[in-house]
Structure 1
Amino acid sequence: MDSKAYNQGLAELRAKRDDIASLRKELAQLEADRDRRIQALAAYPKANADRLAPAAGLSVGQIVALAPALAPDTAPTAPPTAASAAPEVPEQPAEPKPGTVAHLPATPPAVEAQPSAPGPAAPDGARPPAAAGQPKPGAPRELPSIPDGAEGDGWTRPTAGLVSTRPNFTHQPRQMAFLDTETGVLVHRDQQVRLDLGTRTVAEIITAVYATVPASVERIYVTAGDPWHRDADQHPFLRDAVAAWLSGPLPDGWTVETSRTRDRMAGHLVHERRPVGRWQRGNQHCEIRSVGEWFDPAGADPATVRDAFVLLWQHLRHHWHDVVLLGSPSQTGRDLWTRTIPAKTGAKWADGYPVMSEDIRGLLHATAGQGRTELLTPPTVPTQLPRWVELDRTFAYAKHCWASGVGEPQRVTAATFASWSEKEQTNALFAPSHWHIRVTVPNGWNHVGLLPAPITGDKAWAYPAQGGHTFTTWAGGAEVNLALRNPLQPWRIEILDGLLWESSTPLREWSTHLRDAWNALRSISEVHTDPRQRQAAALAARAVRSILLFGIGGFAQRPRIITGQTPLGSEHQVPDGAQITGVTDTHVTWQQNSGFSRDPNAHPEWAAGVWSAARAALLSTRMREDNISVGALHLPPGSIIAFRTDAIYTTTEPNWPYHGQPGEYLLKGRIPEPVPAPTTDDAFYTLQAAGRALHDTEPAPQ
């Protein structure tokens, strides 16, 4: 390039600069005009943010920001995640009422065997920012209650004609292939090839895969690459990018799946990180999903992932001769459970386990969280932490499937509870149960909170720990027992209402078989001489954990969400009450809550019990063989940094015994030197990753 060409290039560059400035000015004018039109349309009495969003090409949150009057009047009551301990404004303690339980015998609670308390997890995904008219995140939230009188008593009657029974059929196995969309490596049975996937669109992947494997392959697991995120930088939310990828052009003859069978679903699942796409061509079916539903592949190649699925099937077959791996661990877990339902004539529950009424299922769905998620920040913890220690409960949920509530629950009003003897009250709290309670934190309390308090916003639950603070909530018997009998100081609990089930063992055989498979696979992962087989066995063990974890979550049976797509310009076809979840150049993606289905295997009372017992055991549980109590309450006050479901993050390294059994605390991460206390989730996960990486490189103890 000479001087003349260089100067000519500069002149052209300046012209482009001026063109861009002109276009930006024009774009700003168009956007301002659009915003004025939105605000004018918002004045219409029946205006709806969900309708305006696709027409404007904006998110619902952006519409609400322009027209705050379209914001909902109350906070969403969607399924909640667990909480951050944002302190609430203390209320004045209420006068005692009938049903108060203040002083029960200080006998150690058997929290590891206690089931009781519900709670589903919140759906992933961005939510619109808080707008005018919405309660401030962290404000107290009122939970539903059982109506008084005959109406409330009617809630306890199970759903007529709906019971869980042992199936009399065997699922049809679906052939699988495993695809790394980064490298193009595809593995099917013993065949391994490298494909040209182009730009990794749905059409390119389907075309390339079925040019290599037979049409009988119905399930493609993506082991790496996340092709649904290929255009993430072109969309305001990750969910929009996933929806756009799923709804992209298809090869000739292919359409979105519409048929449905016992083990085959229809339509797409739009999930930010683990979506499921389903298509068909005549009688040929294709499902693309992430292997991350089962386990983090941790860099494993597709052949190793295939070996992990083979090992998983082999070890489950030791316990279930008719096992078939379904699309997800949740589907597989619940199917395996149904094959443990008593079938012998005359056996108790051989006629099936009753399904709770829709009212009780809705109550359980709304009145508790799942795992405890909480970040404690300064001044609750020091600004500079002396060290960082992560203690994770191994395969924790397997420890809490010993007993569960079955049959029609007994409603226990405050007056009924108050009329019982102390022994009857104690027995009720140790049985599978779910309680509406008023809680008062004792004066002088200086440790973490024990019971979840409902709050507004994404967090949904907080754990108040300020002495004298009073709040109303729902909790399972395991957590109520812990609050009354914790090793530090009893809390004051007033029983307002409750549900009490007969204790039985519907999950025991299922969880025991899964635990045995998990133990066998972990042993292979430690002793096998082939590194690839060791890795495959470790992944298969993680898959067993997912089967139990998500199988329990599946019992919770959240309200059914229907997802659909409507061509842009036909927004009037979007169902009333549907929520817009994504907008592309051609389609609007929406979802609608259609309530609870008649699912014969819906048992939120069982999921509730496991989750409640796990939250209680996170605070205090007994290792009987070692004669030692472990958990957060057995660490010094002020030493707890965070909770994450089954893990405690602390500044203390307690050296609790570890034998590799379910429920025991494994030292999983460690930073031995001072670090700044995290004040955001991003900072927390940065330290978590650093602690795990450092711990993995430390020499093993001699």
Structure 2
Amino acid sequence: MDAQSYNTALADLRGVRDAIRKARAQLVKLEADRDKQIVRLTGHAKASAERIAPAAGLSVADVVALAPALAPDSLADSDAPQPQPAPETAAKPPTELTPQPQPGAAAAAVDTVLPQPTVPAPTAASEAPVAKTPAATDAPRALPSIPEGDRGNAWCTHTSGLVSTRPNFTQQARSTVFLDTTTGVLVHRNQTHRLDLGTATAADILTAVFHAIPEGVERIYITAGDPWHRDADRYPYLRDAVAAWLNAPIPGWRTDTGRGRDRMAGHFVHARNPVGRYQRESGEQHVEIRSVGEWFDVDGDDPATVRDAFVLLWQALRRHWSDAVLMGSPSQTGRDLWTRTIPQRGQYADGFPVLSEELRGLLHATAGQGRNELLTPPRVPEQLPQLVEYDRTFAYAKHTWKSPVGTPRRITATAFAAWSEKEQTRALYGCGHWQVRVTVPDAWNRVGLLPAPAPGERAWHYPAEPGTTFTTWAGGPEVHTALTNPIQPWQIEILDGILWEDGKPLDDWAKKLKETWTNLSAQAHFQGDAQQARAAHLASRAVRAILLYGIGSFAQRPRMVTGTTPRPMERDVPPDAEIIGFDDELITWQKPTGFSRDPNAHPEWAAAIWSGARAALLTQRHRDDDTYAGALHAPPGTVVAFRTDALYLTQPQSWPYHHQPGDYLLRGHLTGPVTAPTTEEELLTLRDAGRAALTTSGQEA
């Protein structure tokens, strides 16, 4: 680009900037007008938030916030004085785990014996500690606790009649095609077609595909083109564009209502990987339109290569599961394969019982997933000397060897304090989920070790400021790491807890997937044909997705249902629904439906694996090399970010890598000086640049 082009582009950029400012100002004005009209409507005697919400494109809660007089009757007494809970320490006497500093603690091994817990004498400070909260405009959300007495003890049960059992049927494979909506290339088995997709609406795709394959198909994977983003410029959010694309009318078709054992009904609105489910109005044919991005990232791969990847994946899984079938998503496939490893003899031959809904709800609210944290100046330099990315290979597969089983036991602070040191140590090494009060040591100069609730739904942060005190829930691996870390032990007070027996419900499943991943990775490395090598690599990534999303599906989050209502029938929008989009014809909404009676809901397994993975980002022992890796084994001030199973540093490390699950793989290396990222977008931009630079230099592991 020459100087003239550069100056012209700058002028164009300023024009875009000004247009954005005007649009934002107009949006603010429109929102203010909307709010005034909502308030004005309260003057009508029969005004109701349920009627006004869909007309305004807001949820009922948003309308009530603007006009409290419209609050439903069920909320009329919400301002009445409520009984205040007893002080936390009165109901739950804390057990404080006060580690005794030992000589050479800074260089101590990670697997040292847990320090002896002591019960502190009651003091004003221990009864009412002052928590230092992070600087934020909103207060951190409060995490739930287990109720006292018999009511709380009743949570530690299983749901009657809800058990994970081995299936007595064989999944049926579905006829599948792979379509590039940019080029129109369609691959069906060994045949390749070139389609005219018009504007690539769902109607265009279904018409073209069923014309090319008259016998019909049941699943269409989009390999490139993202057709659901075609009209993104017309909508403020991608989800709105996706919902409009999915819900556009298709002559002769309607939204699928589900069928058979694999009962998935309705569209799934997702900004990047949506699922459209359609059926003929006659009900004779059902078809899904899905993104192959659910399985792996496609980097310019043609539909034939993607097809070969799925064929290799299926063949590799068949070596371990004779009845393996690839279902629509990795999570569905993962859970189906797991059910086929449930033992037919032994203690759990009758299946694995599902926890009570109350305990599942507690785990949902208190057990986060991956650690995502960006450390910004002054915690890191304004100019980073380097940015080095280490990614834990197939990370979650490292933490499936032990999982909680059996009837959970509630361990109160009093009960924990009454145990011997050996019993306390065994409990914290075991499969547990603990409510703890944490104090960061006064001389701490590293990253935070335990997650704490932050403002925002399901948001977490990791306090590291010396002297900070906070209350949170954490899994056994993280509590153990905080107590035995190689830098300086943290002070932990046990307030409450849930403890299970140690078991191996996922071990056989995970071992088979790890072997499948290893074989496909080897094929990708040694295959002489470039296309087949690429297909094997994609298949190995799909195995990773099966395990990763299979574990996530055990968490069984409360379900969110998406639906549409014609504009003339807006009063039929459910009163507890949130409006997520609308046009001249349809209102698109979503609403939570709580926990379903899912026989394969095991959030305790997902929580234990996630906790172990977060702990391994801090410290992980490599026994064969007699060394350690992780954020706590890098110099102070060199950690820039955590991203699920990746770690970003300002210095390269000599951590061992043997192509095993959990090993730290060097993925990117950007030489400095590098301006420290302050947003996730900036971090991802630097990540991509670092990976490209490492590929160019040929230093990959």
TM-score, normalised to structure 1's length?
A: 0.85
Deviation at 1:261, TM superposition (A): 2.0
Secondary structure of the residue that 1:473 maps to in structure 2? strand
The aligned residue for residue 292 of structure 1 is 293
Secondary structure of the residue that 1:447 maps to in structure 2? coil
For the Cα contact (< 8 Å) 2:53–2:63, is it kept in 1? no
Give the counterpart letter for 1:285 in structure 2.
H
Q: Provide the rounded CA distance (Å) in 2 between the counterparts of 1:232 and 1:576.
A: 28
Distance 1:30 1:545, change over 3 A: closer
The aligned residue for residue 665 of structure 2 is 666
Distance 1:100 1:189, change over 3 A: same
Secondary structure of the residue that 2:511 maps to in structure 1? helix
For the Cα contact (< 8 Å) 1:50–1:580, is it kept in 2? no
The aligned residue for residue 538 of structure 1 is 537
Give the counterpart letter for 1:241 in structure 2.
A
Secondary structure of the residue that 2:159 maps to in structure 1? coil
The aligned residue for residue 326 of structure 1 is 327
Q: Provide the rounded CA distance (Å) in 1 between the counterparts of 2:30 and 2:479.
A: 58
Q: Provide the rounded CA distance (Å) in 1 between the counterparts of 2:303 and 2:70.
A: 47
Distance 1:635 1:28, change over 3 A: closer
Give the counterpart letter for 1:434 in structure 2.
H
Secondary structure of the residue that 1:694 maps to in structure 2? helix
Give the counterpart letter for 1:191 in structure 2.
Q
Deviations 1:530-566 (CA, angstroms, capped at 9, x unpaired): 1000110000000000000000000000112222110
Distance 1:159 1:289, change over 3 A: same
Q: Provide the rounded CA distance (Å) in 2 between the counterparts of 1:302 and 1:668.
A: 27
Within a 5 Å distance, the mapping from 1:292-691 to structure 2 comes to 292-344=293-345, 347-457=346-456, 460-691=459-690
Deviation at 1:52, TM superposition (A): 3.8
Give the counterpart letter for 2:361 in structure 1.
G
Q: Provide the rounded CA distance (Å) in 1 between the counterparts of 2:686 and 2:428.
A: 39
Deviations 1:409-450 (CA, angstroms, capped at 9, x unpaired): 011000000000111000000000000110000101000000
Q: Provide the rounded CA distance (Å) in 2 between the counterparts of 1:637 and 1:450.
A: 14
TM-score, normalised to structure 2's length?
A: 0.86
For the Cα contact (< 8 Å) 2:268–2:276, is it kept in 1? yes
Deviation at 1:686, TM superposition (A): 1.1
For the Cα contact (< 8 Å) 1:365–1:604, is it kept in 2? yes
Within a 5 Å distance, the mapping from 1:212-231 to structure 2 comes to 212-231=212-231
Secondary structure of the residue that 2:624 maps to in structure 1? coil
The aligned residue for residue 96 of structure 2 is 100
Deviation at 1:216, TM superposition (A): 3.8
The aligned residue for residue 273 of structure 2 is 274
Secondary structure of the residue that 1:668 maps to in structure 2? strand
For the Cα contact (< 8 Å) 1:295–1:543, is it kept in 2? yes
Give the counterpart letter for 2:403 in structure 1.
S
For the Cα contact (< 8 Å) 1:52–1:63, is it kept in 2? no
Distance 1:180 1:467, change over 3 A: same
Q: Provide the rounded CA distance (Å) in 2 between the counterparts of 1:433 and 1:238.
A: 40
Q: Provide the rounded CA distance (Å) in 1 between the counterparts of 2:700 and 2:216.
A: 51
Q: Provide the rounded CA distance (Å) in 1 between the counterparts of 2:48 and 2:684.
A: 38
Distance 1:465 1:31, change over 3 A: closer
Give the counterpart letter for 1:546 in structure 2.
A
Secondary structure of the residue that 2:652 maps to in structure 1? coil
Q: Provide the rounded CA distance (Å) in 2 between the counterparts of 1:633 and 1:487.
A: 8
Secondary structure of the residue that 1:217 maps to in structure 2? coil
Structure 1: state its 5+ residue gaps: 1-25, 74-92, 112-134
Deviation at 1:600, TM superposition (A): 0.8
Q: Provide the rounded CA distance (Å) in 1 between the counterparts of 2:694 and 2:49.
A: 49
- Give the stretch that moved more between structures: 180-189 or 458-467: 458-467
- Give the stretch that moved more between structures: 305-314 or 669-678: 669-678
For the Cα contact (< 8 Å) 1:514–1:548, is it kept in 2? yes
For the Cα contact (< 8 Å) 1:47–1:70, is it kept in 2? no
Q: Provide the rounded CA distance (Å) in 1 between the counterparts of 2:213 and 2:700.
A: 48
Give the counterpart letter for 2:525 in structure 1.
E
The aligned residue for residue 248 of structure 1 is 248
Deviations 1:314-344 (CA, angstroms, capped at 9, x unpaired): 0000000000111000000000000000112
For the Cα contact (< 8 Å) 2:666–2:700, is it kept in 1? no
For the Cα contact (< 8 Å) 2:388–2:690, is it kept in 1? yes
Q: Does 1:199 pair with 2:199?
A: yes
Secondary structure of the residue that 1:679 maps to in structure 2? coil
The aligned residue for residue 182 of structure 1 is 182
Q: Provide the rounded CA distance (Å) in 2 between the counterparts of 1:375 and 1:420.
A: 39
Give the counterpart letter for 1:100 in structure 2.
E
Taking CA–CA contacts closer than 8 Å with sequence separation of 6 or more, which of the two structures ends up with the larger relative contact order?
1
Give the counterpart letter for 2:307 in structure 1.
R
Give the counterpart letter for 2:393 in structure 1.
T
Distance 1:538 1:461, change over 3 A: same
Within a 5 Å distance, the mapping from 1:146-157 to structure 2 comes to 146-157=146-157
Q: Provide the rounded CA distance (Å) in 2 between the counterparts of 1:443 and 1:30.
A: 51
Distance 1:301 1:565, change over 3 A: same
For the Cα contact (< 8 Å) 1:39–1:66, is it kept in 2? no
Distance 1:305 1:46, change over 3 A: farther
For the Cα contact (< 8 Å) 2:49–2:64, is it kept in 1? no
Distance 1:44 1:607, change over 3 A: farther
For the Cα contact (< 8 Å) 1:389–1:670, is it kept in 2? yes
Give the counterpart letter for 1:99 in structure 2.
T
Q: Provide the rounded CA distance (Å) in 1 between the counterparts of 2:45 and 2:655.
A: 63
Secondary structure of the residue that 1:279 maps to in structure 2? strand
Q: Provide the rounded CA distance (Å) in 2 between the counterparts of 1:34 and 1:564.
A: 24
Q: Provide the rounded CA distance (Å) in 1 between the counterparts of 2:189 and 2:69.
A: 54
Give the counterpart letter for 1:102 in structure 2.
T
Deviation at 1:139, TM superposition (A): 2.4
Deviations 1:254-276 (CA, angstroms, capped at 9, x unpaired): 11111322224111001111110
Q: Provide the rounded CA distance (Å) in 2 between the counterparts of 1:607 and 1:28.
A: 42
Deviations 1:130-179 (CA, angstroms, capped at 9, x unpaired): xxxxx965522210010000000000011111111111100111010000
Q: Provide the rounded CA distance (Å) in 2 between the counterparts of 1:480 and 1:45.
A: 56
Deviation at 1:455, TM superposition (A): 1.3
Q: Provide the rounded CA distance (Å) in 1 between the counterparts of 2:250 and 2:641.
A: 46
